[in-house]
């Protein structure tokens, strides 16, 4: 596995691959890799000739009081896992590589407000601007043909797709289904913050979202009451609920009577650990819609 830390090192490798006509796939990560990340790398192997994984904990997407300083970093084990998964190139830049003019006043990309101001964006103002700023920089440096993202961060996936389409990147964005622990808990680096009892109970978030999805498939259309019932259930299980929402899959707007492709999304706290998850909920078409 090749390794690059600077723009020059990265370009020397990727330029040669492009000259050979090889298709490249990028898997952006913040490290502390788990089976979800590795599933993305393995899918990238099927999609492209060469797989590039980036590891960079991006400070511009962390808000005031969030866990940037304490975010789990495990570079040695990450390297071993990527080699086993068949990664061809690890891009592990320093801040000076990603933000050569400093972090105080970088050029930023603003996320589309219609997608980014709700749900996660409402709870974490500016978060998606930071995400798009670093993703755009990675795309500009790596110049991949394909980039892969997990569906666990579903709103992030939509925001990135909008940027790619709007700015004409010409990169195919591949979404990969959420990889889960045996309990149903969506795999995440932040799961490491959970205590033993919290981790055992955290899978109930997925169970509640599946119940909501089942209600929707069975014809429930009173979205606000469905959301209130789900919030009550989550609170009864000991979670502190940030939001639970039924939205259109395509743009996360509030669903109307004719919308069939829906998503149930939630963010909760288990102790001090913030968990997010989502599930699809396709309604059966109703005559006349």
Give residue-wise pLDDT tens across range 177-207.
999 999 999 999 999 999 988 998 899 999 9
Whether 80 and 110 share a structural domain? yes
Residue 105, in any domain of the structure = yes
Instruction: Tell me what the pLDDT averaged over the chain comes to.
Output: 95
Of 176, 202, 223, which residue sits at a domain end?
176
| Nearest one of 125, 116, 95, 126 to 163, comparing CA atoms | 116
Q: How many domains does the chain have?
A: 2
What is the pLDDT confidence band of residue 142, given thresholds at 50, 70 and 90? very high
Is residue 37 part of the annotated active site? The answer reads yes
What pLDDT does 289 receive? Answer: 36
Residue 182, in any domain of the structure = no
Q: Which among 37, 95, 127, 215 is annotated as catalytic?
A: 37
Whether 172 and 194 share a structural domain? no
Residue 62, in any domain of the structure = yes
Whether 98 and 210 share a structural domain? no
Whether 29 and 132 share a structural domain? yes
Of 121, 145, 176, which residue sits at a domain end?
176
Residue 114, in any domain of the structure = yes
Distance between CA atoms of residues 208 and 285, nearest Å = 24
Q: What does the pLDDT average to over 69-85?
A: 94
Whether 96 and 7 share a structural domain? yes
Give residue-wise pLDDT tens across range 261-286.
999 999 999 999 999 999 999 887 54
Give residue-wise pLDDT tens across range 205-219.
999 999 999 999 988
Q: What does the pLDDT average to over 24-36?
A: 97
Q: What does the pLDDT average to over 44-66?
A: 94
Distance between CA atoms of residues 35 and 259, nearest Å = 34
Which CATH number characterizes residue 144's domain? 3.40.50.620
What pLDDT does 285 receive? Answer: 59
| Nearest one of 108, 120, 123 to 159, comparing CA atoms | 120
What is the pLDDT confidence band of residue 83, given thresholds at 50, 70 and 90? very high
Residue 289, in any domain of the structure = no
Residue 41, in any domain of the structure = yes
Whether 195 and 164 share a structural domain? no
Whether 40 and 172 share a structural domain? yes
Give residue-wise pLDDT tens across range 240-252.
999 999 999 999 9
Task: Judge contact between 152 and 191, C-beta under 8 A.
Answer: no
Residue 183, in any domain of the structure = no
Whether 44 and 118 share a structural domain? yes
Is residue 288's pLDDT more than 50? Answer: no
Of 149, 176, 203, which residue sits at a domain end?
176
Helices (H), 29-126: 35-47, 75-85, 95-98, 113-116, 120-123
What pLDDT does 18 receive? Answer: 96
Domain that holds residue 194: 189-282
Whether 202 and 148 share a structural domain? no
Whether 9 and 138 share a structural domain? yes
What is the pLDDT confidence band of residue 67, given thresholds at 50, 70 and 90? confident
Q: Report the range of poorest mean pLDDT among 82-86, 97-101, 218-222.
A: 218-222
Residue 49, in any domain of the structure = yes
Tokens for 125, please give them.
């103002």
Query: CA angle at residue 235 from 229 to 238, to 5 degrees?
Result: 150
What are φ and ψ of residue 180, in 5° steps? Answer: -120, 155
Whether 171 and 40 share a structural domain? yes
Which CATH number characterizes residue 229's domain? 3.30.1300.10
């Amino acid at each position: 596995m090749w390794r690059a830390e600077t723009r020059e090192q990265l370009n020397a490798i990727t330029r040669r691959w492009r000259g050979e006509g090889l298709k490249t796939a990028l898997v952006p990560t913040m490290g502390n890799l788990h089976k979800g990340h590795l599933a993305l790398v393995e899918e990238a192997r099927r999609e492209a000739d060469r797989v590039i994984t980036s590891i960079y904990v991006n400070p511009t997407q962390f808000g005031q009081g969030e866990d940037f300083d304490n975010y789990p970093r495990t570079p040695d084990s990450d390297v071993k896992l990527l080699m086993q998964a068949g990664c061809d190139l690890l891009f592990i830049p320093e801040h000076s590589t990603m933000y050569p003019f400093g972090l105080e006043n970088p050029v930023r990309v603003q996320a589309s407000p219609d997608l980014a101001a709700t749900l996660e964006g409402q709870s974490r103002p500016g978060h998606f601007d930071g995400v798009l700023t670093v993703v755009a920089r990675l795309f500009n440096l790596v110049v991949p043909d394909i980039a892969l993202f997990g569906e666990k961060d579903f709103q992030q996936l939509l925001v990135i797709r909008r940027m790619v389409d709007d700015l004409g990147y010409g990169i195919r964005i591949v979404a990969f289904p959420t990889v889960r622990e045996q309990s149903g808990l969506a795999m995440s680096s932040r799961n490491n913050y959970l205590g033993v009892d919290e981790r055992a109970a955290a899978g109930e978030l997925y169970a509640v979202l599946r119940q909501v999805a089942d209600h929707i498939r069975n014809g429930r259309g009173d979205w606000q009451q469905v959301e209130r019932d789900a919030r009550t259930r989550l609170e009864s299980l000991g979670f502190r609920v940030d939001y639970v929402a039924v939205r259109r899959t395509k743009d996360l707007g509030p669903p109307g009577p004719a919308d069939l492709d829906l998503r149930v999304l939630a963010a909760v706290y288990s102790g001090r650990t913030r968990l997010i998850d989502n599930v699809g909920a396709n309604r059966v078409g109703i005559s006349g819609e």
